[in-house]
A and B are shown apart, each in its own frame.
Chain A
């Protein structure tokens, strides 16, 4: 056990963890909007919109995240037309490509979580709102969304942790996140166990924090 290497690599890995957290928070924020958008489409009575949203979530949940990142990073650059538009400023950066892939991926899972949360809201609650003369729009924003958020907290907490692990794939498109730096140190020192313990420890610590924050929120917003 090379304790010196562990001590030396700790600050480097900690710096890289900041990038992991940045990737995670950016993709979660965008993904939440994507998820909400598609969840609303899923609840729509229009069959075309409904099928479209279902197809989106089916494709993104049925293929590996790695394929999605590669299509966006390596694939989209091939389209000549895209290269001439302003989108190219974003798409040539691996950092933004990774965030787009993560956001679309987590958006698909989030849309499923939110959809089932909306569907479990008791119709009586919406009817109560209506009988008080509240408009449909306000019922949706002030009653249905807050209840759906509370319902989906446990499942969404899992999704955050899965997404945090998913950000490690950013290292495959040259981003030096926690896993990227860990791999770099392993391949230069050939001490996989030591680096795994330090990097894995940092990941576990982040998982632990996220888990407890979600638990706290669940308690805070519980119905009783």
Chain B
């Protein structure tokens, strides 16, 4: 137990901060994923064949390739890509991207592919009359989608989005390979310096279980809130 003490003698405070880091990365990744979903869901549902192809390749590639491979691509290729874009604007110094941004972006791309599928399913299960009514009201295409369809989609999507959240939360453990100090990385460091891997990895498992348990509780509340009136 003294291994978990706060302060200089134990790993309690380090692991606590690492847990906050895991939560921060998960939330950021989830939000980045939503941004991707907002772009790619309309593409997937579009009648334009080219848009369709772009949307479908995104979800197929990201869901068919291991998360670790996507992380390595961004970890090794991320700063190169940013430097390439910067060089177009005439900036040629070396740019190093911080592990938090790379990590959340990598997990965000993955979580976005799953969110896109969830939103697509939810939109397709909305009654056709809603689309027609929105059109008849004379709303612009943009307003039709973002004001009428999207709010209804959220209610249908929340149960499946909670699965995406659980996947995202667990996937953040993978970005420990890039050196970002979240639960997994901190346990690795602690296990290495105390030579007690069994204890620290088991404790990491407990922390993850607590996080998944807590998020289940919160999501259940949200679900109840959004399905009022149904």
Contact, CB under 8 Å: A78 / B196: yes
Judge whether A174 is part of the interface by a CB distance below 8 angstroms.
Answer: no
Judge whether B88 is part of the interface by a CB distance below 8 angstroms.
Answer: no
Contact, CB under 8 Å: A200 / B61: yes
Please give the distance in Å from A61's CB to the nearest CB on chain B.
8
The residue that A62 contacts in the complex, of B196, B198, B208, with Cβ under 8 A, is B208
- Once A59-B205, A63-B209, A190-B76 are accepted as A-B contacts, the answer to whether A168 and B66 lie under 8 Å apart by CB is yes
Q: Give residues 66-82 of B contacting A (CB, 8 Å).
A: 66-69, 72-73, 75-77, 80
Contact, CB under 8 Å: A74 / B68: no
Contacts of B67 in A (CB 8 A): 165, 168
Please give the distance in Å from B67's CB to the nearest CB on chain A.
7
Please, how many angstroms separate the alpha-carbon atoms of A199 and B72 in the complex?
Answer: 12
- Interface flags for A57-89 (1: CB within 8 Å of B; 0: not) read 011001111111011001110110000000000
Contacts of A59 in B (CB 8 A): 205, 209
Please, how many angstroms separate the alpha-carbon atoms of A179 and B60 in the complex?
Answer: 18
Contacts of B209 in A (CB 8 A): 58-59, 62-63
- Interface flags for A24-49 (1: CB within 8 Å of B; 0: not) read 00000000000000000000000000
Judge whether A204 is part of the interface by a CB distance below 8 angstroms.
Answer: yes
Contact, CB under 8 Å: A192 / B73: yes
Chain A residues within 8 Å of chain B by Cβ, number:
40
Please give the distance in Å from B162's CB to the nearest CB on chain A.
13
Contact, CB under 8 Å: B212 / A62: yes
Contact, CB under 8 Å: A192 / B76: yes
Nearest opposing residue in chain B for A60, CB measure? B205
Chain B interface residues toward A at CB < 8 A: 60-61, 64-69, 72-73, 75-77, 80, 166, 170-171, 173-174, 176-177, 184, 187-188, 191, 195-198, 201-202, 204-205, 208-209, 212-213
Q: What are 28 residue pairs bridging A and B, where the CB atoms are less than 8 Å apart in the complex?
A: A59-B205, A59-B209, A62-B208, A62-B212, A63-B170, A63-B212, A64-B170, A64-B171, A64-B208, A67-B205, A71-B197, A71-B201, A74-B191, A75-B197, A75-B201, A79-B198, A161-B64, A165-B65, A165-B66, A165-B67, A168-B66, A169-B68, A179-B68, A179-B69, A192-B73, A192-B75, A196-B73, A208-B64
Chain A interface residues toward B at CB < 8 A: 58-59, 62-68, 70-71, 74-76, 78-79, 161, 164-169, 171-172, 179, 182-183, 186-187, 190, 192-193, 196, 199-200, 203-204, 207-208
